[in-house]
Structure formats: C-alpha cells, structure tokens
Amino acid sequence: MGALHQVDSNTNGNGSGTAKDGSRTTIKSWAPATGELLGEVRVSTKDEIRAAVARARKAQAAWGVLPIEERCERLLRLRDALVDRADEIVDVVSRECGKPRHDCLSHEVTVTVDLLSYYCKNAARILAPHDIGLHLLKHKKSSIHYAPRGVVGVISPWNFPFVIPMGDVLAALVAGNAVVLKPSEVTPLSIQKAKEIFDGTGLPEDLFTVVYGYGEAGQALIESGIQKLVFTGGVETGKRVAAACGANLVPCVMELGGKAPLIACADCDVERTARAIVFGGFVNSGQVCISVERVYAHESVHDQLVARVKEITGTLRQGDPNGTETVDVGAIIFPKQIEIAEKHIADAVAKGAQIVSGGKKRTGAGQFFEPTVLTGCDHTMTVMKEEIFGPIVPIQKVASEDEAVRLANDSHLGLNAYVFTKNREKGKRIAQRIEAGSVVVNDVLVNYAAAEAPFGGIKQSGFGRVHGDDALRDMCDARHVFSGRVPEPSSDPLWFPYSSKAYRWQMRVLRALFSRGSIVKRIGKLF
C-alpha cells in the first residue's frame, strides 16, 4: 500500500507527470480509501484530440448509415460483455472512487446496462420519422427525420465515473454518432475499463475514443469540430464550458450541481423517511448530484425523525470497500472535498447548528469523513444554500408544508427534490410546486434509474436532458422535410410579381382566417 497522496492545488489532489515546459503529461490514479497508486494514463495533446475527432468522424460515416436495428444488435453485444465483466468494472470503480461494491454494481453497471437495453429496444420507435399535421398549409405535408449529429463530445465528472459518461456514450452511439470522451482527471481508470470492454466486442475502435487530460483537454475537445457536447460537472466549470461551446457554436447539454431538498410532511412515514434521509444523504459519501442535501422536517415529526436518523446513521459501516461487500459508506474522493465539508460544518455550528452525529474527518489511512447529521439549521448557513457534495445532512424544523416549499425553492439550483407523505396525491401536488428537474415522492435518487424519464436540472443546475426518449432524439439533428400533397401549379399567388390586388387579397384572407367572429372561424367551430 503506498503513502497517502498529497493535495496538489493544480491537479485537484491527483499527482501528475510534468514535462520540461511545465505541461502535465501523465495522470495518476490513487485509491482514496488507501492512498495506493492504482495506475496512470498519458495526457492527450491537443493534436491527438483533434485527430481523435477526425478519426471518429470517419468511423461515424459508416456507423450512422447502418439501420438502427443493426446498430442496436451490435451494441447489445457490448451489453453482454458489460454484464459478463461486471465484477471487473466493480473492482476498478470501487478502488478508484473508494465506493462500496453494492453502489458500483447497482448504480454504475446495472443502470448503464438497463439504459442501453431500453434504447436498443425502443430506438427504432423513438427515432422513426413522423408526420406533423399542418393547421394552415393544408396543401403541404411535413415530416421530421432524425439524422445522427456526427461526433458527440462527452466531458464527465469523477463521482459516477462509469454510468454518467457511458449513459451519454451509449445514447450517442445508438443514435448513430461517434463519441470522443474526456473523463475526469481523478478517475481515468474506470473509463479505461469501459473502453477495453468496448474494444473487445468488435465494434469499430474509432467509434468511441477516450482522451485524457485536465480542463485544457476538455477545452480542446470543444474546439475540435464536435457537433454536440454533453457536460456533467460543477456549476462554475459548467459556465466556462457553456461559454466555450457558445464561442464554437456547439450545442450542449449542461448537467450541473444540485442541492436536493427533502420535505418531511407532518403525515410522513417516519421510519421510511428516516431511512431515505440516511441512504439519500450518505450513499457514495454524499458525492451525488441528487444527494439529500437539506431536510425540511415538519415540527410535528421533527424530533422523532431526528432521533431515528441519528440511530440509523450510527449503524452505518464505513471503510475501505475493497474486497468486502459489507461496507455501507466508503471514502471521499480527494482532500478538497473534506475541506469543503469541514467549512460547511464550522459555518453551521458558528451560526447555531448542533452536530447530532459525526462531524469530522476520520483519522488513519484513507480519506474518510464521518456521516454527519446537523440540526437547528437555517438558510443563513452555507450548508443549506451551497452544494455540499459530502456526507452531511442538515435538518431544519418548519412550521408548515408551505414554509417547506418556500425554503425548498429558495435556491439557485434545481436538480432533484423529495417529498415524504403518506398521502401520495398530496405528495404529487407538493411536487408540482417545487422548482426542480425531477421531484420524487416517498423515495430518493431512484429517478436516475428510470431509463424512460428525462433527467436534468433547471435554474443553475443546467439545461438539456439525458435519459428518456427526448435525450435520444436530441443526439440527432431533427430534419424537416416539406412537400406538397397536390401537383404544384407553375406559379404561386404569394410569389413575384407583387401587386396591389394580391396585397388586398392577402388582407382579406388574413381577416377571414384570424378575426374574431369571422365567417371562416364560425364555420370552423361547427366541425
């Protein structure tokens, strides 16, 4: 086991090789649970990234013209390989992220495989050309066809280093695109495993390329002639990436941070709500964009709920997940995340919050932070307003569900939200008042696993969607084909030459069609 790695402010805590000119040439991957060096990859140069996009474009030209069914048939071989080699994927991801093996299997592998299955089963339907009924130009016919965009770029974070990039990669491939992916510098090996499995299935190698590097590599990818970018990461990086996409007119999807509120209504099932808070707050050590990041508990259930959350949190087993299936909470990816957690707690305590469980970094090998529950929280505290991305659940007591909704909406972020109540219809009504991309009633996180449902944020949590039918269509250019229903005459009354008579005729048509009470409107209403 190697020594714990030191924080390097230039590299998010990861070590790197440096060339004579100061450029970073390699990325080292460290196990956060042990400090062990797991491996390293070479940083791709700008020229290599440009060349990867050019090769991808050639591969796409052959792939994009295959019938959807054939593409899906070939991608299902990749699915078989992912299932066969699931344990290998779990090993790499678990070690590289310090993440429990259960999380790796269910959240990283199963969700990826299910998304691919859904798209392969439904792509022919989702991407089928369809006619649009025209309400005015009845003599014309319109249809929409979906054509692959070309080369899709993907830039992905470290917290789900397999499922987040692979979900985007597979959607792009099903739709007939090629993909160039730049994973986070912190977790290069997880996606290296995906690429190794991909290459073993006989799919064209250049159809899916991985380039490695830091922010500059992401920037180079955006400037390399891609036709779409799917970015997942923090809000501040997202703003820079969106600006770069704007400068290059690259359409983009922005999947950014979250600050998911959980509303515990007066009539919630306290046991289920408490367990959901503990799971939703501490799974993957809280490093989840849809983690339970703040709880608003109705005063009538608050004390009971806090007591149960504390008890359940006390039973969690934290440690190095490698070689065991009985660790619940693993490590923290790098020291900076621990510093962020410490700052939130110090700020909250200084403003009157109480630590009910945890509250500090664990001593000894590896980067671990105790699952922490805070009570007496309010919106003057950063822990209730800014993304934590660590194992902290702050709880605020509220006097009414209206107050909870108001506080839930008092955020610049809007990715996921949760409502707990025994009255499901009431839960759905409250859900519709919450400003978030997805609101889940009586459950947590699970919406990400619904391949059919769009996933993404509003406000500064981003724009565009992944998953669901629209995300697959958005991997394509929607091309509009417009034609006639009847033989076209040799000229058209709206074409040249213009005349006063033609103008007056147009005015009569306008009034007949659109004036309130016009004869055409009245006749139209009869049918």
Q: Shortest approach of ligand NDP to residue 476 CB, angstroms?
A: 21
CB nearer to ligand NDP: pick between 306 and 388: 388
In angstroms, the CA 28 to CA 30 distance is 6
In angstroms, the CA 352 to CA 358 distance is 17
Q: Judge whether 342 counts as a catalytic residue.
A: no
Q: Which of 245, 252, 268, 289 is catalytic?
A: 289
Q: Shortest approach of ligand NDP to residue 29 CB, angstroms?
A: 12
- The CA angle 59-63-69, to the nearest 5 degrees, is 160
CB nearer to ligand NDP: pick between 157 and 366: 157
Q: Shortest approach of ligand NDP to residue 337 CB, angstroms?
A: 8
- The sign of the torsion formed by the CA atoms of 211, 216, 218, 222 equals negative
Q: Shortest approach of ligand NDP to residue 241 CB, angstroms?
A: 5
In angstroms, the CA 383 to CA 184 distance is 25
Report how far apart, in Å, the C-alpha atoms of 138 and of each of 133, 134, 513, 524 are: 8, 6, 13, 14
In angstroms, the CA 334 to CA 373 distance is 21
Q: Which of 40, 108, 255, 435 is catalytic?
A: 255
Q: Judge whether 401 counts as a catalytic residue.
A: no
Counting Cβ atoms within 10 Å, is residue 446 exposed (0-12), middle (13-18) or buried (19+)? exposed
User: And the tokens for 309?
Assistant: 């959350």
CB nearer to ligand NDP: pick between 97 and 398: 97
State which amino acid sits at residue 21: D
**Phi/psi of residue 84, nearest 5 degrees:** -60, -35
Of the CA atoms within 13 Å of residue 7, those in its CB half-sphere come to: 10
CB nearer to ligand NDP: pick between 128 and 247: 247
DSSP state of 4: P
CB nearer to ligand NDP: pick between 255 and 328: 255
Please compute Rg for the chain using Cα positions. Answer: 26
Nearest to 154 by CA among 424, 452, 412, 464: 464
Q: Shortest approach of ligand NDP to residue 35 CB, angstroms?
A: 19
Q: Shortest approach of ligand NDP to residue 250 CB, angstroms?
A: 12
Q: Please report, as ranges, the residues that interact with ligand NDP according to CB under 6 A.
A: 12, 155-159, 164, 182, 184-186, 214-215, 218-219, 232-234, 237, 240-241, 255-258, 289, 387, 389, 415, 457, 462
CB nearer to ligand NDP: pick between 232 and 313: 232
Say if residues 36 and 3 touch (Cβ distance below 8 Å).
no
DSSP state of 109: I
CB-closest chain residue to ligand NDP: 218
Catalytic residues: 255, 289
